[in-house]
Amino acid sequence: MAPVTGAGEQMYALVERLYPLCRSITGDGVRATLRIVDEYLPLQVHEVPTGTRVLDWTVPQEWNIRDAYIADPAGNRVVDFAESSLHVLGYSVPVSATMPLSELRAHLHTLPDHPSWVPYRTSYYKRDWGFCLAQETLDALPDGEYEVRIDSTLADGHLTYAEHVVPGQVPDEVLVSCHVCHPSLANDNLAGIAVATFLAQALAEQTPYYTYRFLFAPGTIGAITWLARNKERVRGGRVKHGLVLACAGDPGSLTYKQSRRGDAEIDRVLRYVLAASGRPHRITKFTPYGYDERQFCSPGFDLGVGSLTRTPYAGYPEYHTSADSLDFVSPEAMADTLAVCREAFAVLDRDRRCLNLSPYGEPQLGRRGLYDALGGRSDTQQAQMAMLWVLNLSDGEHSLLDIAERSGLPFDTVAVAADALRGAGLIKE
């Protein structure tokens, strides 16, 4: 499959643009992020009011922040939100006070094991305030009175999420989800957004079989809100397959976390594609923790949704820290993640069960010109074998992926053979 030209560099450029924005589960940072993505993909943006009941949850108040800092006794800003959106505890209530360092310490968050890194911390559902800073910065603070300022609002508003749909030949959907709620974290958040965006662009250049629905939503509460507002689509069986994208740009090898079912078609496809590619990779079983696959795979919905990452959730020291920076992700890693997604969806889109219309003995392929059509191929013998395998296993029970796995032949070779046999009237879907 031909790569999207320069996709790695373009995805990295998108991550660079999004990196400075202060995102959270609600607020203007999410909207600003979606406006930028909308330059690449036309998005349908949804605003869900505070207080809306969504399954067992309620849409929270909207949080926005304009400025925040800690000034030392000399008036110097020793912690400054303007330098990094990680410096403020997410969802901090407004504060304007002066207090001694001894009192301020209770509201300061650091990483003693990594003294130069700033942690990412939030307090979504408990009213609190705080700052995140490097341990070495805290160690250098003198005793005295500190000015503390958080210019934020926590008020009734909306939760914002967006969708982009790539129309297919059938209304059955593949759901691709990524979260848009983290601030300046390049891998855990932004790389997934970038890969999802460019994956949607690549699919739009084709005429896919399935309809692909891309969801850009805050983690947990966003997925829950989408599920609550799309119960009929989900329970009606429209969502046939799904994939959650996260941590898509770090230097680690790829990891696929299976759906709750474990044997969903998306699970089989990712296992096959990763193994056939020869890439170093891991396949892990489902656990009810991680990203939004746990919402889509909750027992009431039990969708066939897996999760593709490079290094998984909390699996690298830089996770949820300032070290998850632009230096931690690379164009090459994002391009590799995108390539696997495209390979997987190419298999998913073409996988069919077929029925041999001449099942009594082997039909004569030569007089139908099928062997002649293969004469110029460098893999003629392999293509002929693919035809024989497709004819033999097209009993309505085996899919093309089944045939590729059993025969050991490449899926694309099997799919091309099926197309040729279908054109000759020897098989039908």
Helix or strand or coil: residue 42?
coil
| Domain closes at, from 324, 350, 376 | 350
Residues 151 and 187 in one domain: no
Residues 177 and 258 in one domain: yes
Classify residue 150: in a domain, yes or no.
Answer: yes
Residues 198 and 281 in one domain: yes
Please give the structure tokens belonging to residue 148.
Answer: 């503390």
Please give the structure tokens belonging to residue 355.
Answer: 């029925």
CATH number at 408 reads 1.10.10.10
Task: Identify the pLDDT of residue 3.
Answer: 44
Cα 356 from chain centre: 38
CATH number at 89 reads 3.50.30.90
- What's the domain range around 420? 353-428
Classify residue 310: in a domain, yes or no.
Answer: yes
| Domain closes at, from 155, 190, 222 | 155
Residues 343 and 360 in one domain: no
Rg (CA), the chain: 25
Q: Which residues contact 160 (CB under 8 A, 6 or more apart)?
A: 26, 27, 30, 31, 34, 45, 46, 47, 48, 218
Please give the structure tokens belonging to residue 79.
Answer: 């912690």
Spans of the chain, pLDDT less than 50:
1-4
* 309-312-316 Cα angle (round to 5): 125
Task: Identify the pLDDT of residue 376.
Answer: 55
| Domain closes at, from 350, 373, 399 | 350
Residues 301 and 419 in one domain: no
Classify residue 2: in a domain, yes or no.
Answer: no
CATH number at 335 reads 3.40.630.10
DSSP β-bridge partners for residue 44: 163
SS (H, E, C) 341-381: HHHHHHHHHHCCEEEECCCCCCCCCHHHCHHHHCCCCCCHH
Task: Identify the pLDDT of residue 374.
Answer: 54
Residues 233 and 374 in one domain: no
Residues 408 and 390 in one domain: yes
Number of domains in the chain: 3
Say how far apart CA 274 and CA 266 lie, in whole Å: 12
Alpha helices (runs of H) in 145-296, residue ranges in sequence order: 192-204, 221-229, 231-235, 265-277, 293-296
Residues 242 and 320 in one domain: yes
Task: Identify the pLDDT of residue 368.
Answer: 84
pTM of the model: 0.94
Residues 241 and 173 in one domain: yes
Classify residue 359: in a domain, yes or no.
Answer: yes
Residues 289 and 384 in one domain: no
Residues 173 and 241 in one domain: yes
Residues 50 and 165 in one domain: yes
Classify residue 343: in a domain, yes or no.
Answer: yes
